[in-house]
Chains A and B, each alone.
Chain A
Amino acid sequence: MSSSESVILVVNNGDSAALNLKDLIEFMDTPHVQIAAPEEWQSKLGERRLQALFVGPDMSDEELDKLLSDIGKLDPNVPIVMMNQGEAT
């Protein structure tokens, strides 16, 4: 994959929900979806451009804090989609 390619990243503390989300996003004709655990998302992203971040439902508050702080340093314009158990805006 080239450095100019963009990717949607699904970060979650658990594979099941992450894989489910990846399948659904790809089903909506959006290729290049990568899943990652909270501690490995930067290495999984590599040189690619982050198009959007999906945050899975199994993240602790501490993991979420760190993830969003790191994303803010990388690119504050990246859309972030939070998964909530039974709550939506």
Chain B
Amino acid sequence: MNPTALQKQFPWARLHSLDYPVRLDALGAVLEEIHATHSHVRDEAHGEQGGQLIGDSDDMQQVRRLVEQVAPSMATVLIHGESGTGKEVVAHQIHELSARKGPFVAVNCGAIPEHLLESELFGHERGAFTGAVAARRGRFELANGGTFFLDEIGDMPAVMQVKLLRVLEERCIERVGGTKTIPVDVRVVAATHRDLGERIEQGKFREDLYYRLSVFPIEISPLRSRPDDVEPLANEFIRRLQSDATIGLELTPEAMQVLEEYSWPGNVRELANLIERLVVIRPNGVVAAKDLPWPLVERADAGSGLPEVLAASIAATGGDSGVTLPAEGIDLKAYLSKIERQMIDEALSESDGVVQHAAELLGIGRTTLVEKIRRYKIKH
């Protein structure tokens, strides 16, 4: 049966055809297309969230609401968030919740050398340049009928920004070395960790492209500002990893508290990597706070505000805390937490529950105190 007849009989099918015996260059081009349209599958295998928006913090609930609002439309979406916050997961969720039947295709604009990016996005005709031994469809064509995710758009070279703007306005492309205009039905979702306003001021990003992309902006906050999401995310990563070969990894409440207090410069990706590491180290065990990697524990301490409280206490007693180390030793972290909680209780009592006043008494910021009140579940 010839391919045209087959396509007519099975209109939904994403058919390719190759001569047999196969030419390696033609096979390579088809395999490249297959890999490109399955990029989200690769991301899932590398430990990202894999298509789900996890977490019940106010910020994540807001992101979920925005995704549900925008998904059914054709609006171009611009996602902003630090590296590792899950921008591609959000983009993929927009695609999943839309009615678009075509594939989800992703490209990282910052990862492809400038001289290859045009061919990658728009494809090329045979003979367009040295090495173009066969015609190849670009990512825009591959995403036809679906969603095209342009990651790290802030790193796109200026010359490509002009070409992208034209595609967004005219909804058609031209392959490199080609003369034919090819219409594309593509919903574009872009993302960046950069401050595009700043890039515009620096002359590194086109203002007209920015406005064309940011029809519907979505901001993903860093993990450190939504500690409530750490536990559900950690549990989800454990669940996924355990479905393969291991069972029984468990984090103690103290370990979970350390994770919640940590600043997560690598965001959700860093958390996923940590859990993977813990599963390797302790595939069937309980992970206590002391089992966590030292930089994590050290930085969590630095970010917890404990030194400020302790310093205030020590200063108030003339440099001597009045505490001596028992011969049998102590659990320092638990001990300091106990002191911290007691100080907060006293400060709140002293200030008749006025958080701002209590924060001043403790020498810490109001936001920090609110976070600690939440963590210790203090009623005031």
Chain A contacts to B: CB under 8 angstroms: 2-4, 6, 8, 17, 20-21, 24-25, 27-28, 30, 49, 51-52, 56-57, 61, 64-65, 68-69, 71-72, 76-89
Minimum Cβ distance to chain B for residue A86 (Å): 6
Q: Are A81 and B18 in contact (CB under 8 A)?
A: yes
Residue count of chain B within 8 Å CB distance of chain A: 36
Judged by a CB distance under 8 angstroms, whether B313 is at the interface is no
Given A49-B41, A81-B15, A89-B17, 17 further pairs, Cβ under 8 A: A2-B243, A4-B243, A24-B27, A25-B31, A28-B28, A51-B34, A51-B41, A56-B20, A64-B6, A81-B30, A82-B3, A84-B3, A84-B20, A85-B20, A87-B17, A88-B18, A88-B26
Task: List which B8-40 residues lie within 8 A (CB) of chain A.
Answer: 9-10, 12-22, 24, 26-28, 30-31, 33-35, 37-38
Q: Are B17 and A88 in contact (CB under 8 A)?
A: yes
Q: CA A64 – CA B9 in complex, angstroms?
A: 11
- The number of residue pairs between A and B whose CB atoms lie closer than 8 Å in the complex comes to 98
Contacting residues, chain A, for B2 (C-beta < 8 A): 84, 87
Q: CA A80 – CA B27 in complex, angstroms?
A: 13
Q: Are A21 and B24 in contact (CB under 8 A)?
A: no
Contacting residues, chain B, for A81 (C-beta < 8 A): 15-18, 30, 34
Judged by a CB distance under 8 angstroms, whether B244 is at the interface is yes
Contacting residues, chain B, for A27 (C-beta < 8 A): 24
Q: CA A81 – CA B18 in complex, angstroms?
A: 7
Q: CA A69 – CA B22 in complex, angstroms?
A: 25
Contacting residues, chain A, for B41 (C-beta < 8 A): 6, 49, 51
